[in-house]
């Protein structure tokens, strides 16, 4: 069995060895809590695209949501529409309450709805307010980077190519974190001949409609993936929705585990997912062929 680790955004300046060390330290901590360890001689690979993504994002030069002040310029390529769709979903299902939106908008009369750009930005600010004060993470950063990936075909091809080059057809457990869960899904879906005993996604934004709707339709379980396990902390502002029938309906359905208590500052860090006992147990079972 082989382990493939697909990282997310903001990993530039690192290396496959650094990411492997970070992820496996956390996962082994989870294994230790169960009294298990990975199989001897386990092959662990990290398709590293952090520097390439940073290079492509710099060339794209899109602002975060807070920086999109008008409908001209960067907003004309669909970015504003994407953010409007995210804001509308967050508002319509009360992920962000009307009171939180009012507080983020500030005093004075304001049009409530996606036709008002201040309303869109207020919702994104309201989501960020759920983060601890010590966190330097912003949902606006994640939305910008994911938008570029799903909307810009050359960016998607470049990133997918790096990850796809690590697919060997041998029995594999794949773990995708954050943007890496989107990349892992796209790559596995596009390539036949995979033998994936378990696809584990953690902190995944795939349930956000604006992201999901920009993937190739129809949504489907990637060929060769035997099981898909999605773990998230309900306080993680990236993993806003479970990958269930309502948000990512595929057959067979994805198993969702919503009870992670991610101990990292922003509730989104990979450490706080991989050392969770239930996440570690599911991965350990798959690596053991169970």
What tokens were used for 80? 């504003």
pLDDT tens-place string over residues 194-227: 999 999 999 999 999 999 999 999 999 999 999 9
CA distance 220 to 173: 19
Least confident of 36-50, 79-93, 252-266: 79-93
Predicted local distance difference test score (pLDDT) of residue 9: 95
Give me the percent of the chain exceeding a pLDDT of 90: 68
- Asked if 60 and 148 count as a contact pair (C-beta separation under 8 A), the reply is yes
Tokens of 11: 């990993």
pLDDT tens by residue, 83-107: 888 888 888 877 777 777 777 666 6
Structure confidence at residue 169 (pLDDT) = 92
pLDDT on residue 112: 57
Q: Which among 218, 140, 222 is positioned nearest to 184, based on CA atoms?
A: 222
Q: What angle do CA 13, 19, 21 make, to 5 degrees?
A: 130
Distance CA 265, CA 110 (A): 33
Q: Which of 58-62, 101-105, 134-138, 149-153 has the lowest mean pLDDT?
A: 134-138
Instruction: Give the pLDDT band (50/70/90) at residue 17.
Output: very high
Most confident of 107-111, 129-133, 137-141: 137-141
For 40, other C-beta atoms within 10 Å of its C-beta total 5
Average pLDDT score over residue span 126-144: 73
For residue 61, is pLDDT > 90?
Answer: no
Note if the bond before 218 is cis, omega within 30 degrees: yes
Stretch among 21-25, 93-97, 245-249 having the lowest mean pLDDT = 93-97
Q: What was the pLDDT predicted at 229?
A: 98
- Among 109-113, 170-174, 215-219, where is mean pLDDT lowest? 109-113
Choose among 228, 170, 175, 176: nearest CA to 194.
170
Among the residue ranges 74-88, 170-184, 185-199, 256-270, the one predicted with the least confidence is 74-88
Quickly state the pLDDT bin for 68 (edges 50, 70, 90).
low
Average pLDDT of the chain to the nearest whole number: 89
Question: Within its chain, how far is the Cα of 235 from the centroid?
Answer: 14
pLDDT band at 108 (very low <50, low <70, confident <90, very high): low
Domain boundaries, the chain: 2-55+148-287, 62-144
| pLDDT score of 237 | 87
Nearest to 129 by CA among 95, 155, 157: 95
CATH class of 2-55+148-287: alpha beta
Q: What is the dihedral of CA 129, 87, 140, 128, to 10 degrees?
A: 10
Q: In the structure encoding, which two tokens stand for residue 242, read together?
A: 């479970």
């Amino acid at each position: 069995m082989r382990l493939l680790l697909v990282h997310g955004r903001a990993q530039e300046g690192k290396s496959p060895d650094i990411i492997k060390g970070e992820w496996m330290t956390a996962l082994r901590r989870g294994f230790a809590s169960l009294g298990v360890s990975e199989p001897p001689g386990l092959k662990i690979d990290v398709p590293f695209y952090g520097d390439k993504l940073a290079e492509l994002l710099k060339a794209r030069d899109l602002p975060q949501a807070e920086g999109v002040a008008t409908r001209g310029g960067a907003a004309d390529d669909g970015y504003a529409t994407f953010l409007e769709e995210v804001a509308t979903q967050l508002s319509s299902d009360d992920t962000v309450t009307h009171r939180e939106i009012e507080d983020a908008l500030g005093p004075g009369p304001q049009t409530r709805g996606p036709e008002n750009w201040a309303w869109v930005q207020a919702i994104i600010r309201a989501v960020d307010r759920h983060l601890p004060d010590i966190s330097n993470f912003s949902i606006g950063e994640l939305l910008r980077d994911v938008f570029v990936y799903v909307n810009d075909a050359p960016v998607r091809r470049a990133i997918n190519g790096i990850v796809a080059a690590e697919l060997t057809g041998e029995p594999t457990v794949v773990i995708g974190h954050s943007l890496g869960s989107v990349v892992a899904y796209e790559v596995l879906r596009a390539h036949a001949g995979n033998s994936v005993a378990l696809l584990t996604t953690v902190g995944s934004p795939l349930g956000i409609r604006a992201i999901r709707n920009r993937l190739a339709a129809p949504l489907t379980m990637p060929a060769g993936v035997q099981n898909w396990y999605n773990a998230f902390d309900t306080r993680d502002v990236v993993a806003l929705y479970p990958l269930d029938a309502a948000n990512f309906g595929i057959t067979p359905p994805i198993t969702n585990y919503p009870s992670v208590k991610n101990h990292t500052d922003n509730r989104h860090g990979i450490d706080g997912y991989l050392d969770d006992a239930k996440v570690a147990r599911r991965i350990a079972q798959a690596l053991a062929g169970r």
